[in-house]
Structures are given as structure tokens and as C-alpha cells.
């Protein structure tokens, strides 16, 4: 799987360089130069996004008054997301890091792992709703490509179905069922057998959360959805800074559909190439032009580089 991810990454990088050359480096530099000293504004929205998602994570940690502080969760989440995006692990490489660091802070292993698993499920469901919102707005801003929107709709429905299936699986003893299957097949490693009790406890926590803490789950979902809306604020700021302001509705629609392309490229680290290709295609569909689409992609990558660098610093300090 890692070899496949790396091969796809290499192909995507070649595609990305070709696209940027087609746009023209001088044209791109002209758009980026307009940002000037206002570049710190690009970094602010994602900081608030990470804070909201950390608050959401806190609603999954049923650990009493000794639960980790919000600032601790903020930095752990930043580090985990850096590993998710930069490692060839299909956006899952940072989840063990988050759970392990929580456990090192005194949170029981089962509680830490359950919080990470639940958080991932709510992330996918809230993203699916955000993308569906973008698709609902698309006929207003993409009338010329309306006949092709069904393809994006299929992708959104696939993501939604996957998120729902993941949450349902959490409520049906996934660890215990998996162990039973491995026992029947004769492939259950001793390390899993030794942790059978803890895995059964993890199943109980996952199932009980959705049954006994529905208000917490709803609040976590709302906070996550608000964080996606803030991504649209980021898009609005980026186009304003390059001298081509767009409306709020278009910002939400553009960003939601861009997130769909990024989600479909989850097998490639940081969705390199897929994200840029999707942004440029959408910019053409919105009649913004290829240069603006490429400039938008580069600005988003610069923002990602800033926060991913902070995340990697967190990972380095934790280790």
C-alpha cells in the first residue's frame, strides 16, 4: 500500500509541475505578489478551525475533570493532522500518535483510542454534509456544467455512505467481531489475543458513546461543521487578497467541491496534484480562469505548509 501511495504521489507531482508550467510562473507570481504583507491573514482561519475541532475532540473524551486541556488537544491534533497528511497512510498515520500521546498523559488507552475513532467518524459525516451543501449551491454558480454535477454527486454520496457505515460499525463491536473472524481463520496474532479484554472495553466505549452521549455527539458534529464553514472564509480571504473578490455563496460552493476532490485523493500524501487539479477545474467552471485557480492552490499550500510545519515540530518535541 505504501509503494502504491508513493507511486501515485510521484505521478501527481509530475502532473502538478506540468499544470503550473502551463499556467506560467510569471502569471502566478503576479497574483501572489498582490498578497504582499497581508499574508498573515491567510494563516488565521485554519488556526480557528483547529481550535474548533479540538473543542469537538474534547466532547469525545469522557475522562472527568482530569481530561487534557484544550491547548494540549490543540497541539496534539495539529501534530496528528501533520502525520495524516504527510505520510503515505491514507490519512490515518496521525491517529495512533494522538491516541498514544493522550495515553502518555494519563488517559486510559481505551478512552484515548475511542475518542480518536469517534472523532474521525464525525469528521467524515460533517465533511459529507458540507460537500452536499456545496452541491446544493452548485446550480446557482455552475449552470454551464450542471449536466456533469452528477459525477460529483456520486463522489459525495460515496463519502456519505462510507461515513455512515463507519459510524454504524463503531456501534457493533468491531474489535470483538474482528477478533472472532481472525480466530476462525486461524490468523489471530498473540499480541491481539493478549489485548482482547482491552479491545472489548474499547467496543463498549464506542457503542455507549452514541447511545448515552447523544448531546455531546451532536455538539461535536456542529463544531466540526462550523470548522468547514471557516474553510470557506479562508477561500473568500484568499481571493480578496489576490484582487478578485468573490461572494460568500461562491466561496462555500467552491471550497466544498474542492474538499470533495481532496477527499477523493486521500491515498496520496497531502492529496498532491489531486487538490490542485480539482481547484483549477473548479476555477474554470466558475469562470475564474486557470491562473486564479492555480494561485488559489498555491496560497492554500502555503497555509498548509505553515501549519504542517508547526505540527511536525509538535511531533518532534513529543518524541
Give the tens place of pLDDT for each residue, 127-170. 999 999 999 998 888 776 666 677 788 888 988 999 999 989 88
Tell me what pLDDT residue 63 has: 62
Q: Which residue has 458540507 as its cell numbers?
A: 130
Global pTM?
A: 0.87
Euclidean distance between CA atoms 166 and 269, whole angstroms: 22
pLDDT tens string 172-197: 888 878 777 777 777 777 776 677 78
68 within 8 A of 105, measured Cβ to Cβ: yes
* Residue range 2-11: mean pLDDT, rounded: 62
Query: Poorest-confidence range of 41-50, 60-69, 83-92?
Result: 60-69
227 and 46 Cβ atoms separated by less than 8 Å: no
The set of residues, in sequence order, having a beta carbon less than 8 Å from that of 188 and lying 6+ positions away, is 179, 182
pLDDT in tens, 254-301: 999 999 888 877 767 767 777 878 888 888 888 888 888 888 888 888
Question: What Cα–Cα distance (Å) separates residue 132 from each residue in 34, 135, 146?
Answer: 33, 5, 15
Distance CA 120, CA 319 (A): 23
Are residues 125 and 167 in contact, defined by beta-carbon separation less than 8 angstroms?
yes
- Rounded to 5°, the CA angle 154-140-222 comes to 65
> Could you give the C-alpha distances from 144 to 148, 277, 281, 286, in angstroms and in order?
9, 19, 13, 9
Amino acid at each position: 500500500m505504501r509503494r502504491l501511495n508513493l507511486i501515485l504521489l510521484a505521478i501527481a507531482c509530475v502532473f502538478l509541475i506540468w499544470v503550473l508550467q502551463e499556467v506560467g510562473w510569471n502569471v502566478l507570481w503576479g497574483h501572489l505578489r498582490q498578497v504582499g504583507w497581508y499574508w498573515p491573514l491567510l494563516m488565521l482561519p485554519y488556526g480557528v478551525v483547529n481550535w474548533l475541532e479540538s473543542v469537538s475532540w474534547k466532547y469525545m473524551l469522557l475522562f472527568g475533570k482530569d481530561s487534557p486541556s484544550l491547548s494540549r488537544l490543540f497541539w496534539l491534533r495539529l501534530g496528528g493532522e501533520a502525520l495524516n497528511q504527510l505520510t503515505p497512510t491514507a490519512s490515518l498515520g496521525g491517529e495512533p500518535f494522538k491516541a498514544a500521546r493522550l495515553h502518555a498523559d494519563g488517559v486510559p488507552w481505551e478512552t484515548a483510542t475511542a475518542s480518536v475513532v469517534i472523532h474521525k467518524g464525525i469528521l467524515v459525516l460533517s465533511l459529507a454534509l458540507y460537500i452536499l451543501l456545496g452541491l446544493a449551491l452548485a446550480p446557482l454558480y455552475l449552470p454551464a456544467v450542471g449536466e456533469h454535477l452528477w459525477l460529483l454527486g456520486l463522489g459525495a454520496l460515496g463519502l456519505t455512505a462510507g461515513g455512515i457505515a463507519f459510524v454504524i460499525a463503531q456501534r457493533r463491536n468491531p474489535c470483538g467481531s474482528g477478533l472472532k473472524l481472525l480466530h476462525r481463520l486461524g490468523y489471530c496474532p498473540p499480541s491481539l489475543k493478549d489485548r482482547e479484554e482491552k479491545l472489548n472495553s474499547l467496543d463498549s466505549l464506542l457503542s455507549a458513546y452514541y447511545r448515552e452521549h447523544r448531546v455531546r455527539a451532536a455538539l461535536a458534529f456542529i463544531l466540526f461543521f462550523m470548522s468547514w464553514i471557516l474553510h470557506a472564509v479562508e477561500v473568500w480571504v484568499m481571493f480578496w487578497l489576490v484582487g478578485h473578490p468573490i461572494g460568500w455563496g461562491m466561496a462555500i460552493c467552491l471550497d466544498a467541491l474542492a474538499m470533495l476532490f481532496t477527499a477523493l485523493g486521500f491515498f496520496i500524501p497531502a492529496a498532491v496534484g489531486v487538490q490542485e487539479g480539482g481547484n483549477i477545474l473548479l476555477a474554470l467552471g466558475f469562470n475564474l480562469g486557470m491562473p486564479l485557480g492555480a494561485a488559489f492552490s498555491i496560497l492554500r499550500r502555503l497555509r498548509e505548509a505553515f501549519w504542517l510545519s508547526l505540527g511536525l515540530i509538535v511531533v518532534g518535541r513529543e518524541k
